[in-house]
Structure 1
Amino acid sequence: MTGEDLLETLRSFMAERDWGQFHSPENLAKSVSIEAAELLECYQWNGDADRDEVAGELADVLTYALLLADKLDMDPEQIIRAKLERTGQKYPVEKAKGRSTKYDRL
């Protein structure tokens, strides 16, 4: 399945349920954050989270992120590649490899 196929599946799923009416950019952004918190909750008390629970919460985060990108007419692949380009300039391999130091302290 390609990214576009997945997006079409999401669009159809939402349309069948008439959920698009609730999908303002604001609501979708809130939902990304809420679902990300639920993903984090999987690891709240130990680092060995249940893989199935993590998969479900991660799917929710990705779903809302893709729906938000679609609502804002943004191509997920394009915006990720652009962000990687900017991040690569801030964190050149020769300075950042193997380090978690923030870019302004490299």
Structure 2
Amino acid sequence: MSTKETMSKINAFRDARNWRKAHNEKDLALSISLEANELLEIYQWKTAEEGNLDREHLKEEIADVLIYSYMMADNLGFDVDEIIAEKLVKNGIKYPIKETN
């Protein structure tokens, strides 16, 4: 599925429930943070390996973070693939590969 198809499905889900009015940029930013904290909770008091065992819960929380992130990008008129590509270029400059001799 392409990013545009995913965004279309997210918006259709939201619009069918009349949730658009609650999905402004501020509230989406808050929701991203809250869902990211739910993702962290999976690992609280566990080793990484133990947390990784809860795969279904991990998938759900990662999906929630991504859904809210996609919605925020869409609200702001950002193309998700484009902004990720731009950020990878910036990160490549900021964190160059170090040659070892």
Residue of structure 1 equivalent to 2:45? 45
Aligned alpha-carbon RMSD (Å):
1.2
Match in the other structure for 2:62: 58
Q: What runs of 5+ residues in structure 2 fail to find an aligned partner? A: none
Q: 1:11-64, CA deviations, whole angstroms, 9 ceiling, x for partnerless residues?
A: 100000001110010000000000000000000011222111111111100000
Structure number with greater CO (CA < 8 Å, separation at least 6) is 2
Give the letter aligned to residue 59 of structure 1. A
How big is each residue's C-alpha offset from its partner over 1:79-106, in whole Å with a ceiling of 9 and x where there is no partner? 11111111100111126x9xxxxxxxxx
- The whole-number CA distance in structure 2 between the counterparts of 1:11 and 1:56 is 18
Structure 1 gaps, min length 5: 98-106
Identity of aligned residues (%): 40
The number of residues matched between the two structures is 96
Moved beyond 2 Å, runs of 4+ = none
| TM-score of the superposed pair, with normalisation by structure 1 | 0.87
TM-score calculated relative to the size of structure 2: 0.91
